[in-house]
Structure 1
Amino acid sequence: MYFWISTMWKNDFLSWDPQQFCNMSHITVPLSHLWLPDLYFYEQVVEDLSPWMRYANLTHEGMITAVKPTRLTSTCVLDFYYFPFDIQKCSISLVSSMHLENSMVLKTLKNSSEIHEESMKYFVDNGEWHLLEVLVEEKKLHGYSWLIYSVVMQRQSSLYVLALILPSLSLLVLDLLCHYIPKLYIEKINFKVTVLLGLSVLLLMLNDFLPASSDDAPIIVIFLIGTMTSITAGILENIFVMYAGGKILEPDKTSTGTYPLYQGLFLKSSSKEVQLEEEEQVLEDGVVSMLERICRDMHLVRQQIQSLQGMENLGRRREELQEKIDKLVFYSHLVLVTAFYTTVVFKWKW
């Protein structure tokens, strides 16, 4: 930070009567001839080498005004939990290094509103921070007199909203709308993987945007991790739906005449085996009458038709089961996603 220190104190040994000196009420004197208060900033980490202005203003009442331009590099504990909607408050403490409270008391000439109004005239905005207010407080700590200036600044969040949050939400919306792609689970999975890769690029961008900070993970990190988890869960849901639908098998008859479910993934057809057995039997028996051959062919045709009907019923039952499971899983997923993002929004807001 760059600012001006304007100090004023009274020296009772440098007062005069203006009427005795041609009505001169103030003069300018070299600062090197005067006593200077030993002031320093408690939070500074780099030695301040800026000199005082060479001359000071002296009034007939003994009031001395001296000015020092200062470029301060200080420490400040920042909390990035609400990044990029965070508000930071940094304090600058002005204190004497050797004079106790009973020797020198520091006071401010202007209140907080006046200091803030004057600071806004000279505040240079770099596009990332907005100055909210400047507070001043007079304190007595450890036997010394302190002046504590608190600078409250708010981060400009528009860049981060446009570059990180809105693209992430767009990818999430695309992932949810992928549910309405009709019954093409392989294409759904391919599309969701592409969306997941796009979100991974945003996470790489976050490393450049997010300041190295605090012990607790910022909300934006939780937001992006939750988005990635949601998309990954959508991929797993589609795989589960495909697996559950594929567990319905071809209806092989059992002794009870029922068709068992969930016995394997692939269809089985016995028509070719029956045909081979019939042909072998024809070769072994020799000559078979034309009528018997026609009957056997009709029997094979009937078996093939039954097999095709079974496959059709199997596909219909698989689609019905997949559709039911898909709806149940999707709406459960939608409720969880809504609850998660509602919680994140309330955390950012409050």
Structure 2
Amino acid sequence: MTGVKTAGLICICFSLLHGCVVALNCTSPTPEALFDAFEKELFPRKLLRPVKSFSEPLNINITVTVAGILGVQEKAQSLTVLIWQLLEWDIAGLSWDEEECGTSRVSIPREKLWVPDVQISEFMDEDVSPHTPYVYLYNTGHVYDDRPIRVVSTCRLVIYTFPFDVQNCSLTFEPYLHFAGDIRMFQRRTSEEIFTESKQVLQTKGEWELVDIKASQSTLEIIDGSYSGITYYLILRRRPILYVVNLLIPSCFLITLDLFSFLLPPHSVDRSAFKMTLILGYTVFLLIMNDLLPVTGGSTPLMNVFFCISFALMVASLLETVFITNIHFSSSEYSPVPHWLRVLVLRYLAVIVCLPPIKKTNRITVCLHQPPRGSIIPSKDLQNISSNIPPEKTPLDPVLDELKKLSRDLTAIRVQMDKHFQGSKTQQEWEMIGIVVDRLLFGLYVVFISFSFITIVLIWVLSNLDVHIAHGIP
């Protein structure tokens, strides 16, 4: 008899030390009887981890379902999603008979049970998730805890290929306090099943599209121990149609208009006014669409670089038009073109822009330094002749005076003609430099627009192709 009592005391002590909960006995198959049994055997132990031994870890199965993508903030580097979090674990030793108690499952308040402190490591804002006060408890001791969570988490966004970017945001579910020796996390379903269900229940059709979901076991090592967790990777792709229609196409239209403005005469005042109007319109366009462009401190989107270069080309084309107009109206007053500039522009750059070189003229310039012999009597001979003739009989004096006047006039005309031809040559060289610069800038415009168009198309196609190949999307 003493041995039986001793064995009973040992069993009781063992049960108390290991937190074991015995099977529940219901006086009748009614809810009142079952909850009376809970009040007596289960609820008083809600402060203890429901395991048989302190050294035994509690296994928690987790699965998540993405129900909505609420927003992505590039400036704050954050992701806002609505997920359904399902946690399942077993209360060691808890059970009841279904026929005796009248049910195999019952919902009880969450506050009446020990609930694991599973949190999302990337959480960065106040939890404003809807409150769900109940969990399901089965007659086998299995707890089913399903609740929605509005998650505002950190996410390192790479927006270099905006608006054709694909983001990979992680959500790590792990206990906030308990080490891996106390709580171990496991996946209940595969990532393929989670992705399929998420696509079925996903209601949001906004800017972002859920491309895939990956999951992996994670372990956080610290000095005192390690934490067991599950990391889910949400692969998101931006829908670029909005930005293509509102940003890229209008910008390409304005750049194309500026390109066709090169068909106007370079010396025309209307050309500079037209380019100034385009620059003003492009500036207003960028100010209006500034809110659509992402802002981050880490990297600059390629689209912002495209806008900056486009604006710089517009300003350069306006300055070039002012330069050419000034050349056309004031080049006659310029000094001769420097030799290095003549060689660089008229010899090399002219070949690049397919401009033929200036042909040399076949015009013969008559030298007026010495008149043809015998055509005009030299003044010295005229003086000798006049000295031999008496003063009253010198009929060549009026002729001599007229010849002197004609010589002075011819000398003045020669000087003016030399200045005229020299100025015409200088003016022609400056005008040719302006034409070469105009064609060079036109060529840069064509190359830039072609390169930008090909780059945008390639990034769009390759981003979609990479996502489809990496995640097996048909």
Q: If the length of structure 2 is used for normalisation, what is the TM-score? A: 0.55
Pick one of 213, 227, 231 that aligns with 1:148. Answer: 231
SS in 2 for 1:107: strand
Query: Which residue, 317, 329, 333 being the options, matches 2:444?
Result: 333
Alpha-carbon separation, structure 2, partners of 1:111 and 1:189? 64
Amino acid at match of 1:3: I
Give the 3-state SS of the residue equivalent to 2:324 in structure 1: helix
Alignment of 1:206-245 (within 5 A): 206-245=289-328
**Measured at CA, do residues 98 and 230 of structure 1 come closer, stay the same or move farther in structure 2, by a change above 3 Å?**
same
Indicate yes or no: 2:90 matched with 1:10. Answer: yes
- Counterparts of 1:317 and 1:51 in 2: how far apart (Å)? 80
**2:179 aligned partner:** 100
Mapped partners of 1:320, 1:7: distance in 2: 80
1:275 corresponds in structure 2 to none
Match of residue 84 from structure 1 = 163
Quote the offset at 1:228 in angstroms: 0.6
The aligned counterpart of 2:283 is: 200
Cα 1:321–1:59 shift into 2, 3 Å = same
Shift of 1:195: 0.7
2:120 pairs with 1:41: yes
> Aligned partners of 1:15, 1:24: CA distance in 2, in Å?
12
**Relative to structure 1, is the Cα distance of residues 192 and 101 closer, same or farther in structure 2, using a 3 angstrom cutoff?**
same
Give the length in aligned residue pairs: 302
Q: Name the % identity.
A: 29
- RMSD after superposition: 3.7
Q: In the TM superposition, what whole-angstrom CA distance separates every residue of 1:223-277 from its partner, at most 9, and x where no partner exists? A: 1110011111111222333344446539xxxxxxxxx9669xxxxxxxxxxxxxx
Whole-angstrom distance in 2 between the partners of 1:320 and 1:214: 46
Q: Is there any run of 5+ residues in structure 2 with no aligned partner, and where?
A: 1-80, 339-401, 464-474
The one-letter code matched in structure 2 to 1:104 is I
Whether contact under 8 Å (1:87, 1:152) holds in the other structure is yes
Shift of 1:145: 0.8
Distance 1:262 1:72 in 2: 69
CA contact (8 A) 1:106 1:147 kept: yes
Partner Cα separation in structure 2 for residue 84 and residue 22 of structure 1: 60
Residues 270-326 of structure 1 show CA distances to partners (whole Å, capped at 9, x for unaligned) of xxxxxxxxxxxxxxxxxxxxxx9xx99xx99xx8xx99xx79x95995897378435
CA contact (8 A) 1:41 1:95 kept: yes
| Cα gap change, 1:11 to 1:228, in 2 (>3 Å) | same
What secondary structure, in the 3-state scheme, does the structure 1 residue paired with 2:154 have? coil
Unaligned runs of 5+ in 1: 251-259, 264-291
1:162 to 235, 240, 245: 245
Judge which range, 220-229 or 82-91, deviates more.
82-91
CA contact (8 A) 1:29 1:57 kept: yes
With the length of structure 1 as denominator, give the TM-score of the two structures. Answer: 0.72
1:57 is displaced (CA, Å) by 2.7
Q: Comparing 21-30 with 166-175, which one deviates more in the overlay? A: 21-30
Give the partner amino acid of 2:83. Answer: F
Aligned residues of 1:52 and 1:67 also touching (Cα < 8 A):
no
Give distance in 2, aligned partners of 1:262 and 1:60.
Answer: 100
SS of alignment partner, residue 187 of structure 2: coil
* Partner amino acid, structure 2, of 1:238: T
- Counterpart Cα distance in 1 of 2:130 and 2:282: 52
Cα contact 1:179–1:330 (8 A) shared by 2 = no
Of the two, which has the highest radius of gyration? 2
Q: Corresponding residue for 1:117? A: 196
Which of 71, 74, 97 pairs up with 2:153? 74
Return closer, same or farther for 1:138/1:238 CA change in 2, 3 Å cut-off: same
Asked if the contact 1:128/1:155 (under 8 Å) is kept, the reply is yes
Match of 2:255 in 1: 172
- For residue 142 of structure 2, what is the aligned residue in structure 1? 63
Question: How far apart are residue 337 of structure 1 and its match?
Answer: 2.3
Q: What secondary structure, in the 3-state scheme, does the structure 2 residue paired with 1:130 have? A: strand
